[in-house]
Amino acid sequence: MTPQPTPPTDAHGIRIKGVTKVYPGQPSPAADDISLDIAPGEFMTFLGPSGSGKTTMLSMIAGLTSLSSGGIWIDGQDISRLKPHKRNLGVVFQQYALFPHLSVAKNVAFPLEQRRVPKDEIHRRVREVLDLVHLGPFAERLPRQLSGGQQQRVALARAVVYEPRALLMDEPLGALDKKLRDQLRGEIARMHRELKMTFIFVTHDQEEALTLSDRIAVFNEGRVEQLGTPTELYEHPATLFVAQFIGESNTFTGTLNRADAVLDCGAFTLRADPGDTPVSGTSSVVVVRPERLTLHPGDTPVRPDHNVVDAVVTEILYVGDHHRIGLRFPDGGSGSAVCSVAEQLPALPGRPVQASWDPEHQTVVPAHGADRESSGPELAEQPVDAIHGLHDQGVRPTYGGVV
């Protein structure tokens, strides 16, 4: 989906229109004609792999990087060429950047002192914002006497204390260990609810993006590949890149025949909704999420309006609340399904099964960039324990029997 900017007149919130950044000496733009609107009070996340242009876009909003072309408006005001401190935006980076010789309270007071806010008001606002981030009792400590998570909460407090028009965060949880990261993620969600401020959050962590955001802009090679709510991106990825970057997918590549709404994958055919976007005759990919697959023995009748593909179970991994079933399909591709721990396992590794799903739960995307082997993290990389000794029986299957 290409975001359609409307003219920057009536706009409330942040409007980014046709923004391009070409760094000197670089062959390709770091930001390539980006347009998107951020509503007042929205939690917007820029998600994408390393080098996709997230920091470049954020720092152009903050005023730390100049635009090569395009414009940025806040509440209808063109801020594209304003100095950073005139934009009234709060910014937090991965590194906390606190003043080491100043107490927590003095660090947080700093931007208010810069703005010549009266002393008693500074005192009141610092206390309020330290309470907001649960650091009231730590006001007199020095940064080095705090944990990483606490230091980052000071940085967040300092960025919102002067009530900026928006809070911009670039991988603010990146330097923290997993437990602190999860904790601070909850704090950021709570701060957003309480402050009702526009938040722009940069991450390459899909879980952070999915759990925190009202909407996510998925960045790829300097472009916004898709803009949507977490559910839209997960359930209806517009491109193979988005399908593979967010969550795990089973992907089946074939030639789409729109006339009979069928995707011919060679070894098998799949129903494709006639409303699906790719053009007839083109190489297209059916994407279906692991939790949408039902696995059953080959002789089980399948609803005629459902898709069904033969598969071989390659491994079964215990992930605590469910099993993850690795699958190999007749076209040589691999994928996975999930099975609740309360359910009976469909088959042991090495055994054939059928995987079926309701075409309502699939998406058809153009095939360019298709890469079956890299669709989602490899099962072997998941932090899981195999149980029931199934991994010991994990025969590497042969496929002749199931085609």
Given the rule CB under 5 A, which residues bind Mg ion? 55
Identify the DSSP state of 176. Answer: S
Our CB check for ligand ATP shows the closer of 22 and 142 to be 22
Our CB check for ligand ATP shows the closer of 24 and 304 to be 24
Can residue 23 be called a binding residue for ligand ATP (CB under 6 A)?
yes
Our CB check for Mg ion shows the closer of 47 and 74 to be 47
Q: How far apart are CA 18 and CA 27, in angstroms?
A: 19
Q: How far apart are CA 401 and CA 403, in angstroms?
A: 6
The distance of closest approach from Cβ of residue 36 to ligand ATP in the complex, given in angstroms and rounded to an integer, is: 15
The distance of closest approach from Cβ of residue 57 to ligand ATP in the complex, given in angstroms and rounded to an integer, is: 7
Name residue 169's amino acid.
M
Can residue 99 be called a binding residue for ligand ATP (CB under 6 A)?
no
Q: Which residues contact 62 (CB under 8 A, 6 or more apart)?
A: 84, 87, 89, 91, 168
Our CB check for ligand ATP shows the closer of 25 and 400 to be 25
Do the Cβ atoms of 277 and 286 come closer than 8 Å?
A: no
The distance of closest approach from Cβ of residue 59 to ligand ATP in the complex, given in angstroms and rounded to an integer, is: 8
Residue nearest to Mg ion (CB): 55
Can residue 224 be called a binding residue for ligand ATP (CB under 6 A)?
no
Report the partner that residue 153 touches, choosing among Mg ion, ligand ATP, none (CB closer than 5 to 8 A by kind): none
Can residue 27 be called a binding residue for ligand ATP (CB under 6 A)?
no
Backbone angles phi, psi at 326, to 5 degrees: -75, 140
The distance of closest approach from Cβ of residue 197 to ligand ATP in the complex, given in angstroms and rounded to an integer, is: 22
Using only the alpha carbons of the chain, give its radius of gyration.
25
Helices 119-132 and 178-195 pack at an angle, to 10 degrees, of 130
Can residue 26 be called a binding residue for ligand ATP (CB under 6 A)?
yes
Give the largest Cα separation in the chain, rounded.
Answer: 80
Q: How far apart are CA 13 and CA 73, in angstroms?
A: 8
Identify the DSSP state of 26. Answer: -
Q: Of 51-59, 108-116, 209-217, 309-317, which part binds ligand ATP (CB under 6 A)? A: 51-59
Where along the sequence are the contacts to ligand ATP (CB under 6 A)? 23, 26, 30, 48, 50-56, 204
